[in-house]
């Protein structure tokens, strides 16, 4: 679990850096996929899933 969280933080930091510098190519896509993969295996997966469900439910009301 500790390795998973640290990898999720690493890929999250790399993704934030790539988005900030606006250099999102094939390497950035790989980082984004890996960040999502490792985030899904942490304890934050339920929170992220609930947030996305709430956003999808709110879209028709806009």
Domain ranges of the chain: 2-61
pTM strictly above 0.75: no
**What pLDDT tens digit does each residue of the chain (62 aa) get?**
455 557 677 777 888 888 788 776 777 777 777 777 777 777 777 787 787 788 888 888 88
Query: Can you say how many angstroms the Cα of residue 37 is from the centroid of all Cα atoms in its chain?
Result: 8
**Residue 41 contacts by C-beta under 8 Å, 6 or more apart in sequence?**
4, 8
Cβ–Cβ < 8 Å for 38, 30 = no
Residue 1's pLDDT is what?
47
């Amino acid at each position: 679990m500790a390795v998973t969280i640290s990898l999720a933080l690493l890929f999250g930091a790399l993704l934030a850096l790539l988005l900030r510098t606006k250099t999102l190519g094939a390497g950035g896509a790989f980082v984004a996929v890996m960040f999502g993969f490792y985030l899904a295996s942490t304890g934050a997966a339920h929170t992220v899933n609930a947030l996305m469900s709430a956003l999808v439910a709110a879209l028709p009301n806009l």
